[in-house]
A = this chain, B = another copy of it.
């Protein structure tokens, strides 16, 4: 299966914590990865983002889907 999501990172589950409705899954990614972020052109300009800049990618944990073979 090919998937439109640009970010698919393989890893091993380190921890699973389960609540009534929601659960937390911690996954250790095995190798450095290339992250694709789609942001506004306005932000690229305001932050003056360009090749070589050191930045952080911030991802809320509710946005992550987990897949298993």
> Which residues of B lie under 8 Å from residue A64 when comparing CB positions?
7, 35-39, 57-59
Complex Cα distance, B66 from A64, in Å, reads: 15
Contact flags A16-55 to B (C-beta < 8 A → 1, else 0): 1111111111111111111111111111101101111111
* Contact call A12/B53, Cβ cutoff below 8 A: yes
Copies in the complex: 6
Count residues of A near B (Cβ-Cβ below 8 Å): 67
> Which residues of B lie under 8 Å from residue A59 when comparing CB positions?
5, 7-9, 35, 59, 63-65
> Which residues of B lie under 8 Å from residue A62 when comparing CB positions?
38, 60, 62-63
* Contact call B32/A61, Cβ cutoff below 8 A: no
Complex Cα distance, B19 from A29, in Å, reads: 28
